[in-house]
Structure 1
Amino acid sequence: MEKQEDFIALDTSLSIWNRFFTIAPLIVVGTKEGDGYDLAPKHMATPIGSSNYFGFVCTPNHSTYHNIKKSGEFSVSFPMPNQVVLASLSASPRCGEDQSTKSIVKSLPTIKTTNIDSIFVKNSYLYLECKLFQIIDGFGEYSFITGTVEAAFVHKDYARTSEKDEQQQIYEHPLLAYVSQGRFANISETFNFPYPKDFKL
């Protein structure tokens, strides 16, 4: 790249991702764990293509990875902006192994899934029930877990329909975004993307 004085070269022998801000969804993954369930917030998460596949980054150091490998399924909740504290609290079991952290997850408002054995964060705006498709290991200490979406449920206020003005809909029902690393945003203002003429998604 041609040298530009406004740019700083980053040392790629270290992780670059905490040196700038990026935007990502914030989701909570639910899994079956022993006689109960586990919840884990994730932000490295995405639909995969236009078909009904979904994936997220995890590590074998976390129980989420092993729970999914054992059960072959997982749930995904997309929290609303006013649920960011709930999403944060769902990470508590990773902060320690004492029973008090496990009881925090049990006290969070949840609902049961319909087609798999897992839970959702109650009052989220989008729920996905996924069957494990493939786990791809080898991204350093991380793995990419992918699933097929077997069932999906969206809150009526967040469903896209031709009768609704999209900007007004998002203004009235904002979206939660994770601003990596360590911040979040309430997205309520959006704009039409300037696609070229005759562009097809």
Structure 2
Amino acid sequence: MEALSTKNLRPLDVSENLWDRVFTVAPLVIIGTVEGESYDLAPKHMATPLGFGNYFGFVCTPRHSTYRNIEKTGEFTVSFPKPNQVVQTSLSATPRSQCSDKAKDVLQNLSVFRASTMQAPVIAGAYLYLECELFRIIEGFDDYSLITGKIRVAHADKDYLRVSEVDEREQLMKNPLLGYIAQGRYAKISETFNFPFPKDFKK
């Protein structure tokens, strides 16, 4: 095996944030938590299923109220917004404790519902909802931690359910997904292709 050719490559300084130097694709979700007598919503892109069971995790920091809320209540929700909800997703990040009266009026007009098994909120119109109980917080990623939850309840928009008799390419053309292009861009994902798995591939 030959060594990697660096002819068209540029070295990245790993003592700095290399994730600001390249584009990467990630999901974009909104984490909902109870905060005192109110609630908190926080968009997250470092988020993923954990294995093929009912576990979900995302990266957060103790500096954020999301982390502290989950530590206190032991639960959180996950809303997967649609591409036409980018503005609502962005507005949900507005800190409620520090915003002006005008900003509070905007936040109060965001459509949210209480989850079916907990007090934490979900946003209206998402295509997938998860209601999670805290499983474990894994610390040690510098100032960040991985918050993991066990999915207690899940609901999905019927138009986004995978159904064997429906062509997936056509389904995603009609019902696109929202992707986050780190850092600071987003994509409406509607054009998709079958992945060329090797013969007899198993997950």
Q: Tell me whether the two structures share a fold, i.e. TM-score over 0.5.
A: yes
Aligned length: 200
Alignment pair present for 1:180 and 2:182: yes
What is aligned with 2:84? 82
Query: For the residues of structure 2 that align with 1:126 and 1:50, how far apart are their CA atoms?
Result: 16
Q: Per the alignment, in what secondary structure is the counterpart of residue 62 of structure 2?
A: coil
The letter of the residue matching 2:183 is: Q
Instruction: Give distance in 1, aligned partners of 2:107 and 2:45.
Output: 19
Give the Å deviation of 1:117. Answer: 1.4
Residues 32-55 of structure 1: per-residue CA shift (max 9 Å, x gap)? 001011100000000000000000
Partner of 2:162: 160
| 3-state SS, counterpart of residue 20 of structure 1 | coil
Partner Cα distance (1:104, 1:149) in 2? 30
CA drift at 1:4? 1.7
Amino acid at match of 1:114: S
User: d(CA) in 2 for partners of 1:67 and 1:168?
Assistant: 40
Equivalent position amino acid for 1:39 in 2: L
Residue in 2 that maps onto 1:139: 141
TM superposition outliers: structure 1 runs of 4+ over 4 Å? none
Q: Which amino acid aligns with 1:97?
A: Q
1:134-173 Cα distance to aligned partner (Å, 9 max, x none) = 0111111111100000000000000001111000000000
Partner residue, 1:114? 116
Match of 2:193 in 1: 191
For 2:22, give the aligned amino acid. F
Instruction: Indicate the residue corresponding to 1:29 in structure 2.
Output: 31
Matched, 1:98 2:99: yes
2:10 aligned residue: 8
Q: Which amino acid aligns with 1:188?
A: S
Q: Distance in 2 between matches of 1:121 and 1:70?
A: 22
Greater shift in the superposed pair: 124-133 or 102-111: 102-111
Following superposition, the deviation at residue 103 of structure 1 comes to 4.7
Q: Where does structure 1 lack aligned partners over 5 or more consecutive residues?
A: none
Separation in structure 2 between the aligned mates of residue 46 and residue 104 of structure 1, nearest angstrom: 29
State the Cα distance separating 1:104 from its structure 2 match.
3.8
State percent identity of aligned pairs.
55
Map of 1:64 onto structure 2: 66
Taking the aligned partners of 1:104 and 1:31, their CA distance within structure 2 comes to: 19
**What secondary structure, in the 3-state scheme, does the structure 1 residue paired with 2:69 have?**
helix
Name which of 31, 37, 40 aligns with 1:38: 40
Length-normalised TM-score, structure 1? 0.96
CA RMSD of aligned residues (A): 1.3
Give the Å deviation of 1:102. 4.7
Q: Aligned-pair distance for 1:106?
A: 2.8
Residues 164-196 of structure 1 deviation map (CA, whole Å, 9 limit, x = unaligned): 100000000000000000000000011111111
